[in-house]
Structure 1
Amino acid sequence: MKGIIQLANNKQYTGQWHGDVTHCKGQVIFYTGMGNFLEFMTDPETKGKIVVATYPGILDSHFDPSKFESDDLQLTALIIQQELFVQSEREKNWLAFFKEKGIPIMSGMDTRTIIKQLLKDGEISAKMTADHHKLEPKFDDQKSTSHEKTKVLNPTGKTNLVVLNFGIKKSLLAWLKGFHCKLTILSAETSASTIAELKPDGVIFSGGSGHPADYQQYFEDYAKVAKSYPTIAFGLGHQILALAFGANVEKMKWGHRGFKQATYHTSTQQVYLTNQNHGYHISLQNLEETGFKPSFLSVQDGDIEGLIHKDFPIATYQFHPDGTNFKLESLIKDAYFQQLEQSKGEKLYAEAK
Structure 2
Amino acid sequence: MNNSKLKSKIALEDGRVFEGFSFGASGERYGEVVFNTSISGYQEILTDPSYRGQIVVMTYPLIGNYGVNKEDIESRKIWLEGFIAREYTAIPSNWRSEKTLSTYLKENGILGLEDVDTRAITRNLRIQGAMRAVISTEDLDNESLVQKAKNSPSLVGRDLVKEVTCSAPYKFNNIGKFKVAVIDCGVKLNILRNLSAKNCELTVFPATSSAKEILAGNPNGVFLSNGPGDPEAVPYVFKTVSEILGKIPVFGICLGHQMLALALGGKTYKLKFGHHGANHPVKDLIRGDVSITSQNHGFAVDTDSIKSKGVEITHINLNDNTVEGMESKKYKFFSVQYHPEAAPGPRDAAYLFDKFIENMKSN
TM-score w.r.t. the length of structure 2 is 0.86
User: Does 87-96 or 10-19 show the bigger shift?
Assistant: 87-96
Residue 89 of structure 1: how far off its partner (Å): 5.6
What is the letter of the counterpart of residue 121 of structure 2?
I
Cα RMSD for the two superposed structures: 2.5
Task: Tell me which moved more, 205-214 or 149-158.
Answer: 149-158
Distance 2:260 2:88 in 1: 44
The CA deviation at 1:195 is 2.1
CA 1:156–1:112: 2 relative to 1, 3 Å: closer
Deviation at 1:7, TM superposition (A): 0.8
**1:76-112 residue CA offsets vs partner (Å, 9 max, x unmatched):** 111122167xx43679822122111111122211111
SS of the counterpart of 2:68?
coil
- Where does residue 118 of structure 1 map in the other structure? 125
1:349 corresponds to? none
Write the mapping of 1:1-353 to structure 2, written as runs, cut at 5 A. Answer: 1-82=6-87, 87-88=90-91, 93-132=100-139, 135=145, 144-322=163-341, 328-330=349-351, 332-343=352-363
Point out where structure 1 has 5 or more consecutive residues left out of the alignment: 344-353
The letter of the residue matching 1:173 is L
Q: How many angstroms apart in 2 are the aligned matches of 1:97 and 1:152?
A: 28
- Distance in 2 between residues matched to 1:259 and 1:113, nearest whole Å: 21
Q: 1:20 to 1:171 in 2, by over 3 A?
A: closer
User: Is the Cα–Cα contact under 8 Å of residues 284 and 315 in structure 2 kept in the other structure?
Assistant: yes
Partner Cα separation in structure 2 for residue 176 and residue 148 of structure 1: 21
Contact 1:297–1:305 at 8 Å: present in 2 too?
Answer: yes
Greater CA deviation, 267-276 or 334-343? Answer: 334-343
Segments of structure 2 that go 5 or more residues without pairing to the other structure are: 1-5, 155-159
Cα offset, 1:144, TM superposition: 2.3
Letter in 1 for 2:245: A
Return the alpha-carbon distance in structure 2 between the equivalents of residues 298 and 58 of structure 1: 28
Aligned length: 340
Report the secondary structure of 1:289's partner residue: coil
Equivalent position amino acid for 2:349 in 1: L
Larger radius of gyration: 1
Identity %: 27
Q: Which amino acid aligns with 1:237?
A: G
Instruction: State the match for 2:157 in structure 1.
Output: none
Kept in 2, the 8 Å contact 1:261–1:275? The answer is yes
